[in-house]
Amino acid sequence: MSIIILGIESSCDDTSAAVIKDGVLLSSVIASQAVHEAYGGVVPELASRAHQQNIVPVVHEALKRAGVKKEELSAVAFTRGPGLMGSLLVGVSFAKGFSRALGIPMIEVNHLQGHVLAHFIKEEGEEAHQPKFPFICLLVSGGNSQIIRVNAYNDMEVLGQTIDDAAGEAIDKCSKVMGLGYPGGPIIDRLARQGNPDAFTFSKPHIPGYDYSFSGLKTSFLYSLREWVKEDPDFVEHHKTDLAASLEKTIVDILMEKLRKAVKSTGIREVAVAGGVSANNGLRNAFCEHAEKYGWDIFIPKFGYTTDNAAMIAITGYFKYQDKEFCAIDAPAYSRVTIK
Ligand code: KG4
């Protein structure tokens, strides 16, 4: 009998549902929330209200596009955490209601684990290019920057992580102070393509081991910018492409330096990248250069699977379903949790 999983993701500001049948993606629907743009960041209360409005039509649409009736579902997989509590509660509560009404099991998914396993999402008729275990994954999102050794779908070991800000958070904040808009990642990415990455130099951290730090870079960026703007109020307008390119280069260099170290010491040459920041062109190019130079076998997700999506939750649910890893109806959402 086929295994059909409905995945639900609502940890931040995207309401998403996806259907996976026997490991193959049938549909993936994402409703993004434009309401936050005016505030330069996600407003938690507005996010949960938007999730409430979106969740039923998004799930309905995902089932419709998949051509699957809800009675045919084997289980419902949902993001349990980490994320914004009010946002998570919408998806978690919906999953509970759905599972109870249909009499099917619930599968809790760690959002970060989902990002890593996004590499196993397979579309119809597609040749699978998937990493083999064990592999190293650089997980870079708005809230996390981690180097993970992935031994199996349910066995992940964090080798290093940020001790303060995440890479995406630093990009978003620098974009905000330049008045460029939110989220900063795609804007900086676009501007950086036209700028000189060596125009400005920003400080890099000196943290031992495989851990990251981005708060020093952020502070040095803000401090330098303040001085430059004092001299020339139109400084950002005149230099935004060079500022974006230099900032992006610094962040990519910081990320790749620790990743190189981890790959070298583990001897694992299968290297993947995941999370929202993996959409960044500078980072993608750096991965390709490293593959050529160091003989890495690299795995870069499709753009649609880099940011938050329910397809990654459904595929994780598919793996867990086979091991009958179900959760209880009273499982609470959690706002903070590491990969384990
Ligand atoms: O994984 P994600 O969608 O959400 C979290 O779970 O955090 O990641 C969002 C982050 C934001 O910081 C956003 O600015 C960044 O990913 N991002 C990018 C790009 N697209 C999204 N950063 C750099 N370049 C991009 N093209």
Tell me the per-residue pLDDT of 56-101, one tens digit each, with 9 for 90 and over.
999 999 999 999 999 999 999 999 999 999 999 999 999 999 999 9
Query: Do 23 and 63 fall within a single domain?
Result: yes
The answer to whether residues 19 and 4 touch, using CB atoms and an 8 Å cutoff, is yes
Residue 308 Cα: closest atom of ligand 1: 3
Q: What is the pLDDT of residue 34?
A: 85
pLDDT at 55 exceeding the cut of 70: yes
Torsion 76-43-14-57 (CA) sign: positive
Query: Do 188 and 293 fall within a single domain?
Result: yes
Q: Is residue 83 part of a domain?
A: yes
Res. 196 pLDDT band, cuts 50 70 90: very high
Q: What is the mean pLDDT of residues 104-117?
A: 97
Q: What is the mean pLDDT of residues 109-138?
A: 94
CATH of the domain at 106: 3.30.420.40
Q: Is residue 334 part of a domain?
A: no
Burial track 293-325 (b if 16+ CB lie within 10 A, e otherwise): eeebebbbbeeebbbbbbbbbbbbbbbbbeeee
Rounded CA separation 337/79 (Å):
12
Q: Is residue 335 part of a domain?
A: no
Query: Do 117 and 199 fall within a single domain?
Result: no
pLDDT at 338 exceeding the cut of 80: no
Query: Do 269 and 298 fall within a single domain?
Result: yes
Quick count: other Cβ atoms within 10 Å of Cβ 262?
19
- Please give the tally of structural domains in the chain: 2
**CB of 82 sitting under 6 A from ligand 1:** no
**CB of 40 sitting under 6 A from ligand 1:** no
Query: Do 156 and 245 fall within a single domain?
Result: yes
Q: What is the pLDDT of residue 35?
A: 84
Torsion 76-81-84-89 (CA) sign: positive
Q: Is residue 201 part of a domain?
A: yes
Q: Is residue 223 part of a domain?
A: yes
Q: What is the pLDDT of residue 340?
A: 58
**Mutate which of 188, 307, 338, 339 to test ligand 1's pocket (most atoms within 8 Å of Cβ)?**
307
Tell me the CA distances in angstroms from 277 to 144, 150, 195, 273, 328, one per residue in order. Answer: 10, 19, 19, 9, 33
Query: Do 318 and 294 fall within a single domain?
Result: no
Closest C-alpha to ligand 1, atom 8: 276
Token pair, residue 148, equals 């993970």
**CB of 23 sitting under 6 A from ligand 1:** no
Q: Is residue 336 part of a domain?
A: no
DSSP class of residue 299 equals: E
Q: What is the mean pLDDT of residues 44-49?
A: 93
Q: How far is the CA of 186 from the centre of ligand 1 (A)?
A: 8
Residue 307 Cα: closest atom of ligand 1: 3
**CB of 189 sitting under 6 A from ligand 1:** yes
Rounded CA separation 159/301 (Å):
21
Query: Do 189 and 267 fall within a single domain?
Result: yes
82 prior amide bond cis, ω within 30 = yes
pLDDT at 337 exceeding the cut of 80: no
Query: Do 108 and 203 fall within a single domain?
Result: no
The answer to whether residues 126 and 120 touch, using CB atoms and an 8 Å cutoff, is no
Query: Do 29 and 45 fall within a single domain?
Result: yes
Read off the pLDDT of residues 156-178 as tens digits, 9 standing for 90 and up.
999 999 999 999 999 999 999 99
- Provide the domain limits for residue 91: 4-127+305-322
Q: What is the mean pLDDT of residues 294-314?
A: 95
Rounded CA separation 85/145 (Å):
21
Query: Do 174 and 248 fall within a single domain?
Result: yes
Query: Do 145 and 233 fall within a single domain?
Result: yes
Closest C-alpha to ligand 1, atom 13: 185
Q: What is the pLDDT of residue 142?
A: 84
Q: Are strands 14-21 and 4-9 parallel, antiparallel or unpaired?
A: antiparallel
Q: Is residue 329 part of a domain?
A: no
Residue 143 Cα: closest atom of ligand 1: 7
Query: Do 79 and 168 fall within a single domain?
Result: no
* Mean pLDDT lowest among 23-37, 72-86, 149-163, 313-327: 23-37
Q: What is the pLDDT of residue 339?
A: 67
Q: Is residue 331 part of a domain?
A: no
